[in-house]
Structure 1
Amino acid sequence: MPLPRIGVVIVTMGNRPRELDALIASVGRQDVPPARVVLVGSATPLTDVSADVTKIPLEENPGCPGARNAGLQLLCDSGEVDVVVELDDDGLLIADDVFRKVRRLYADDPALGIVSFRIADEHGRTQRRHVPRLRADDPMRRGLVTAFLGGGHVLSVPMLREIGLWPSEFFFGHEESDVGWRALDAGWKILYEPELVLQHPKTSPARHAVYYRFTARNRVWLARRRLPVPLIPLYLGVWILLTVARIRSLSGLKAWCGGFLEGVRTSCGPRRPMKWRTVWRMTRLGRPPIL
């Protein structure tokens, strides 16, 4: 079987020029060069970027999944790549053999749909929320999972052609869950590979002003789009309880409640619930789709 060809998609809003330059340089140092690197400018013209990459400047900000789709669509249509590495613009590849390892993983397993990188800060530490499993005490434990990290991951082009691209209407939050659940339902595998590291500064998702609203709205949309009917109230009930227990600010809780109601009242897009065998598969992998 021929080794898969690698493409790269990076989305930027133009507000991290130094970090972006360092990331593109780390991509260029890989011992397996990518077939193409696509840089998507979300509401930025990319005129200050001198790197030799394919540029897609977008006039408006379509949100993270919408911007990623612009790069993915170009690469899927080009026929030049078999897998796509997507990286946050403030991340950094600290090893030079990342793409070689990615290529070998996909060459060894045609059913591999998604590979999730390990996200680590400049001290090598990985936050628990960056380990895509419930038992997150050991970030070095490799294995099949039901979720993946948006900051650094790989997507199979044949998988994307089967299941579709990112849910652009989500704008921000839980788009990875939507893609991951569709992938699992179609029989693809998701692998967490801690040897693939994206260095990323330690942050909190709540730094985004829209975090609480979009997190709640999109969680409701996700349930309505992808879960069998009996699981929808279970899933949302669990997350209502967890949210009330975790949120410490009244303004955050108010925004979350507003987003939850928005998710109930507005269109969630096409409903294609997962099969019950996918529910069982996720349960056997350690994360039933009610958590």
Structure 2
Amino acid sequence: MPPPLPRIGVVIVTMGTRPRELAALLASVVRQDVPATRVVLVGNATPLTDIPDDAWGLPLTKLPLTENLGCPGGRNVGLTLLRDSDACDVVVELDDDGLLIADDVFRTVQQRYARDPALGVIGFRVADEHGHTERRWVPRLRAGDPLRGGPVTAFLGGGHALSMPMLREIGLWPAEFFFGHEESDLAWRALDAGWSIHYAPDLVLQHPRTSPARHAVYHRNTARNRVWLARRRLPSLLIPAHLALWTLLMTARLRSPSALKAWWGGFFEGLRTPCGPRGPMAWRTVWRMTRLGRPPVV
């Protein structure tokens, strides 16, 4: 007799600023032909009073927070509830302005995890309302063909699935990052523990085309978190090479003096402040990532 299919849970973090988009997203979760066992809606500094407890008949749990914990911190609140209540085997996390345009996403996720017990992360393809996927949304260096799936070393935070057994082993999101590079920290820990990451372009999250630089803290946080990421996860010999390469890249890319000032401020903050527990990846993981097309120096 085949083992039971994994149960699907959902975590969505919102700040309450996109009520129309959130309502559409929840409706698209309801339409899935495999129902979620539990949907957790986390309100980052928002009371969630405009969302009824029985919204659309979902098994909905609302967790309003009095402060904004950032994206990874908010997700951790939802993941902790699902983990401690043993409510699911796989967690699908979705941006509150995303939309599942197909009704079989959860079923496809369920089947792929059932086939591969070593599967840790499935990254969805993010596309705008016209079906266009930007290069920065493709989790590989050679991003010319967004429809080419397969094993990768990274995934997008906007739409993805996470194995609960994996999370129990490697831990949750790095909440102290607040915003920026938290996906890389989790992905590198997953790969180092032997889990796989799969980019699935047939699983689509529709998402508006926006710039991450719209966030006021973007340049400072990404620089700080880049340094923290290297200090936490890279072998000592690779830290200088990683930071030197990214310093050159960002200095060439950023033309705005204010953006450069914010970036350098974050860089030095990352050097002088505690980065959290250090757990460098093994050299076998460095080699594995290199064979997958993205060594951790890049």
TM-score, length basis structure 2: 0.97
1:96 has 2:98 as partner: no
1:27 has 2:38 as partner: no
Return the offset for 1:2. Answer: 1.4
Q: Aligned partners of 2:64, 2:143: CA distance in 1, in Å?
A: 38
Return the offset for 1:226. Answer: 0.2
What letter matches 2:79 in structure 1?
L
Taking only aligned residues, the RMSD between alpha carbons, in angstroms, comes to 0.5
- Higher mean Cα deviation, 45-54 or 231-240? 45-54
Q: Which position in structure 2 is the counterpart of 1:223?
A: 230
1:42 equivalent among 44, 48, 66:
44
Q: Which position in structure 2 is the counterpart of 1:17?
A: 19
Q: Aligned partners of 2:96, 2:255: CA distance in 1, in Å?
A: 30
Deviations 1:122-144 (A, max 9, x none): 00000000000000000000100
2:5 equivalent among 3, 10, 13:
3
2:192 equivalent among 176, 185, 188:
185
Local SS of the residue matching 1:271: coil
1:78 has 2:85 as partner: yes
Q: Aligned partners of 2:290, 2:123: CA distance in 1, in Å?
A: 19
Q: Aligned partners of 1:4, 1:246: CA distance in 2, in Å?
A: 43
Local SS of the residue matching 1:173: coil
1:264 equivalent among 249, 267, 271:
271
Return the offset for 1:80. Answer: 1.7
Q: Which position in structure 2 is the counterpart of 1:131?
A: 138
Q: Aligned partners of 1:161, 1:18: CA distance in 2, in Å?
A: 34
Q: Which runs of 5+ in 1 are unaligned?
A: none
Q: Aligned partners of 1:250, 1:124: CA distance in 2, in Å?
A: 34
What letter matches 2:178 in structure 1?
F
Local SS of the residue matching 1:224: helix
Return the offset for 1:220. Answer: 0.1
What letter matches 2:265 in structure 1?
G
Local SS of the residue matching 1:221: helix
Return the offset for 1:222. Answer: 0.2
Query: Aligned pair count?
Result: 291
Q: Which position in structure 2 is the counterpart of 1:167?
A: 174
Q: Aligned partners of 2:149, 2:13: CA distance in 1, in Å?
A: 27
Local SS of the residue matching 1:230: helix
TM-score, length basis structure 1: 1.00
1:251 has 2:251 as partner: no
Q: Aligned partners of 1:6, 1:248: CA distance in 2, in Å?
A: 44
Local SS of the residue matching 1:190: strand
Q: Aligned partners of 1:206, 1:75: CA distance in 2, in Å?
A: 32
Q: Which position in structure 2 is the counterpart of 1:69?
A: 76
What letter matches 2:64 in structure 1?
P
Return the offset for 1:252. Answer: 0.2
What letter matches 2:207 in structure 1?
H
Return the offset for 1:248. Answer: 1.5
After TM superposition, what 4+ stretches of structure 1 lie above 3 angstroms from structure 2?
none
Q: Aligned partners of 1:142, 1:166: CA distance in 2, in Å?
A: 24
